[in-house]
């Protein structure tokens, strides 16, 4: 029987998410500004050099990381199930991906003075490297944690991610005001430190058997066959869970991708401070990450997620009509609370809807999240341009898709913790 890991071990694994979230906050805050600066319809810091893109073009560029994740994360999750090396089966992906992500991150701001293809190449190096190790990292948590402890363990991982996000907003703002590349270089350094600590302190279980059902036919071919082996009720739960995750991520990603643009155009914040209001969501997420797992252990994961979806939909509807900084801070804090209730518990539900295939179910989870992350910024960029560059539109997509996710979640019958 798998023994619960030490909290410190999960926290060290969480350093990977700390580093990733720190980097993504820097990326999602400043890269959209870099892409749009120079456009006559996007007036920000005159000293900021950029490529003059519109919101639709920016949304398309912002989906590159999610396309990379869509192509790579399901494969790396499933492949790590059957990989065997002297470093383990999950850790080699971190050993390769995290230093490469650091390299790409460090060169992004330096490429602003270069032709756009050079800038794009730096983005590609970073996002492809990131896609290589995220699914194996979550599968590593599942390897070390029994079913009834996964919501709490996922809460710790997301707590670490939330800490990384908050620090990125605060430190990134301060560093950006000093020298634009500094936030990106800080993210690169954190990648390297986190990678070293994880490889030094975490040991994978040695008694996990290879899953012989996997073949070399590719993840999607394997997935079709694997779903056919499940009992109908579990197969239905997996499908509806994936649809629910897709919908709530489709509601969330556009807001995250364009919030800094909303900050500088609607709230009239400086580029350095453009993401600070959104940091209230991260602070609330940190405070409620672990309690969200505890609450789910008492009332059930499904009920907790359903409440979070309704709350977040209401928050975004109010936000659309109240572009006031003080009000937005309160609303983003409520959104962070709601997001903790959703995000902390949805991933363990996917894992426990089909026990014994953690790498594969991790891959399914990331298919749903990355498909949403591909479609979301493009859809929202199109709506922003269609509305005459009204960045408040980022708050209209969310409620509709959160409610659709609610409907799909009602159809789920499996995914609660088992002993």
Count CA atoms closer than 13 A to 217's CA, side-chain side. Answer: 10
Alpha carbons 29 and 40: distance in angstroms, whole number: 20
Cα distances (angstroms) measured from residue 30 to each of 117, 161, 174, 304: 18, 19, 13, 33
245 touches 350 (CB < 8 A): yes
Q: At what angle do helices 182-201 and 150-178 cross, to 10 degrees?
A: 150
Residues spanned by the domain of 366:
8-203+225-410
In a domain, 107, yes or no: yes
In a domain, 250, yes or no: yes
Alpha carbons 115 and 121: distance in angstroms, whole number: 10
pLDDT at 218: 58
In a domain, 218, yes or no: no
Classify burial at 173, counting beta carbons within 10 Å of its beta carbon; exposed 0-12, middle 13-18, buried 19 or more.
buried
In a domain, 179, yes or no: yes
In a domain, 417, yes or no: no
| Beta carbons within 10 angstroms of residue 86's beta carbon | 6
pTM (predicted TM-score): 0.78
In a domain, 215, yes or no: no
Alpha carbons 201 and 9: distance in angstroms, whole number: 8
CA-CA-CA-CA dihedral for 43, 49, 54, 56, to nearest 10: -130
User: Which residue from 167, 312, 321 is spatially nearest to 249, judged by alpha carbons?
Assistant: 312
Alpha carbons 71 and 68: distance in angstroms, whole number: 5
pLDDT at 154: 77
Task: Give pLDDT tens digits along the chain (419 positions).
Answer: 445 566 788 889 999 999 999 999 999 999 999 999 877 777 666 777 789 899 899 999 988 988 887 788 767 877 777 777 777 788 889 999 999 999 999 999 999 989 999 999 999 999 999 988 888 888 888 788 887 777 778 778 878 988 999 899 999 999 998 999 999 999 999 999 999 999 898 888 765 544 433 333 456 677 777 777 778 888 888 889 999 999 999 988 878 888 989 998 899 888 888 888 988 998 998 888 889 988 998 999 999 999 999 999 999 999 999 999 999 999 999 999 999 999 889 988 988 887 766 667 877 887 888 888 888 888 888 988 998 888 998 898 889 899 999 999 999 888 787 65
In a domain, 208, yes or no: no
Residues 6+ apart with CB under 8 A from 81: 89, 139, 210, 211, 214, 357, 358, 359, 360
Alpha carbons 371 and 66: distance in angstroms, whole number: 7
Q: How many domains are there within the chain?
A: 1
pLDDT at 9: 84
Helix (H), strand (E), coil (C) string for 128-152: HHHHHHHHHHHHHHHHHCCHHHHHH
191 touches 77 (CB < 8 A): no
Alpha carbons 97 and 93: distance in angstroms, whole number: 6
pLDDT at 211: 46
Question: What is the chain's length?
Answer: 419
User: What CATH number corresponds to the domain at position 139?
Assistant: 1.20.1250.20
In a domain, 216, yes or no: no
Structure tokens at 30: 């400043």
């Amino acid at each position: 029987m798998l023994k619960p890991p030490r909290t410190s071990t999960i926290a060290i694994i969480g350093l990977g998410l700390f580093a990733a979230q720190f980097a993504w906050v820097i990326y999602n805050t400043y890269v959209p500004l870099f892409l749009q600066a120079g456009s006559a319809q996007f007036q920000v810091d005159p000293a900021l050099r950029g490529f003059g893109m519109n919101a639709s073009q920016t949304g398309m560029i912002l989906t590159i990381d999610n396309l990379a994740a869509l192509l790579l994360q399901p494969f790396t999750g499933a492949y790590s199930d059957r990989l065997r090396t002297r470093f383990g089966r999950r850790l080699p992906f971190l050993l390769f991906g995290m230093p490469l992500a650091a390299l790409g991150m460090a060169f992004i701001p330096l490429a602003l003075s270069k032709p756009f293809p050079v800038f794009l190449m730096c983005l590609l190096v970073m996002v492809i490297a990131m896609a290589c190790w995220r699914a194996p990292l979550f599968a590593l948590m599942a390897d070390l944690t029994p079913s009834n402890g996964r919501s709490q363990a996922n809460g710790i991982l997301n707590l670490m991610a939330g800490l990384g996000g908050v620090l990125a907003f605060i430190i990134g703002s301060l560093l950006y005001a000093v020298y634009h590349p500094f936030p990106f270089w800080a993210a690169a350094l954190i990648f390297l430190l986190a990678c070293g600590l994880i490889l030094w302190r975490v040991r994978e279980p040695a008694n996990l058997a290879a899953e012989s059902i996997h073949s070399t036919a590719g993840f999607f071919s394997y997935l079709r066959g694997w779903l056919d082996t499940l009992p109908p009720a579990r197969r239905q739960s997996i499908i509806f869970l994936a649809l629910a995750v897709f919908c709530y991520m489709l509601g969330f990603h556009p807001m995250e991708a364009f919030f800094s643009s909303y900050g500088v155009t609607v709230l009239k914040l400086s580029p350095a401070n453009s993401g600070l209001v959104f940091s209230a969501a991260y602070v609330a997420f940190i405070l409620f990450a672990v309690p969200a797992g505890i609450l789910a252990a008492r009332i059930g994961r499904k009920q907790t997620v359903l409440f979070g979806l309704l709350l977040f939909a209401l928050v975004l509807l109010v936000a659309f009509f109240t572009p006031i900084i003080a009000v937005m801070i309160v609303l983003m804090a409520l959104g962070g609370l709601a997001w903790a209730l959703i995000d902390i518990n949805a991933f363990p539900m996917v894992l426990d809807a089909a026990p014994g295939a953690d790498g594969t179910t991790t891959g399914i989870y990331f298919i749903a999240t990355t498909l949403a992350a591909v479609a979301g910024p493009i859809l929202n960029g199109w709506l922003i341009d269609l509305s005459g560059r009204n960045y408040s539109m980022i708050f209209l997509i969310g409620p509709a898709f959160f409610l659709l996710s609610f409907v799909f979640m009602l159809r789920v019958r499996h995914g609660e913790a088992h002993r």
